Amino acid sequence: MNRYIKLVNFELKRFMKVYLALIVITILAQTAGVILTANEYLGRANKAIYEELVPATQFIEQYGQFSFLNIARTTWFMGPIALSAAALIFYIFMIWYRDWFGKNTFIYRLLMLPTARLNVLLSKATSIFLMVLGLVSVQYILLPFETAIMNWRVPAEFRADLPIQEIIQNFPYLSILLPQSFLEFVLYYGAGFMVITMLFAAILFERSFRWKGILIGVGYVVLSAVVFLTPLLTILFTGEDYLYPLEMLAAEIILGVVVMCFSIWLGNHLLNKKITV
């Protein structure tokens, strides 16, 4: 366990500069987005009220009150989230290929450490998972802060104040990133961890069998996705709903755990049997 924790810490340190840059970009871009979006709305209001002599109530009726939803729809808000997601998806591949194609082929030194190779695989998956949770935590902290800036910039009569929960619920991507219950958290992020293990297995197929491994890896990801989505695909193709909602949920959880555990076992098998140092 101690070696596993050290490996997780090692992997986190290797990506820390980029990771901190993503956090800084998110904070600066979203904060700037709040201010600029609010200023744009206020500029439109001032022009209508003071230049065109439109009553404030009429302006509000025509354009609506300003709320955080106006901000959440902008690139200023969504851009950093998309950038962070893309960076972490890229890192799922980079975390392996950097070790193979780096300056000193570091993967061979890593696999020769006096620890089970399973720890190497799990430490890489855990580090990515922890970075995802870290970025999500930053977003949780930012929402109240950004709401406070909005309240400071926009007068109360022009503003529609929304609870944080309502802001999240109004945007599907936010409700997935920021689950509102423990069950949703387990389901969404459990599925995310399953995808990481599937992609790791595909990468190790490629590393084990090279060009042929690419086809095997892609095929494995597709097959795993089909297995996981079997209950939903059954409804799609037959038009019949054979399971109650709770039964459907239980089936998806069981299949997700099976796919994740098999992917971890498969990745460990490839590391031990097919990749030599």
Half-sphere exposure of 125 (CA within 13 A, CB side): 25
In degrees, rounded to 5, the angle at the alpha carbon of residue 255 between the alpha carbons of residues 89 and 207 is 45
pLDDT tops 90 at residue 36 = yes
Query: What integer pLDDT is reported at residue 277 of this predicted model?
Result: 58
CB 38 within 8 A of CB 153: yes
In this structure, what DSSP letter does residue 82 have? H
pLDDT tops 90 at residue 30 = yes
Parent domain of 164: 2-274
φ, ψ for residue 25, nearest 5 deg: -60, -45
Rg of the chain on CA atoms, in Å = 24
Mean pLDDT of the chain: 88
Name the percent of the chain lying above pLDDT 90.
47
pTM, 2 dp: 0.88
Strand partners, 159: 66
Beta carbons within 10 angstroms of residue 137's beta carbon: 12
CA 259 to chain centre: 20
Look at the block and give the residue holding tokens 């840059």.
Answer: 21
**How many domains in the chain?**
1
Higher pLDDT, 245 or 239: 245
Strand partners, 66: 159
Cα–Cα distance, 195 to 186 (Å, whole number): 14
pLDDT tops 80 at residue 104 = no
pLDDT tops 90 at residue 200 = yes
Query: What integer pLDDT is reported at residue 174 of this predicted model?
Result: 82
Query: What integer pLDDT is reported at residue 195 of this predicted model?
Result: 94
Query: What integer pLDDT is reported at residue 110 of this predicted model?
Result: 77
Query: What integer pLDDT is reported at residue 112 of this predicted model?
Result: 80
Query: What integer pLDDT is reported at residue 267 of this predicted model?
Result: 93
CA 87 to chain centre: 10
pLDDT tops 80 at residue 97 = yes
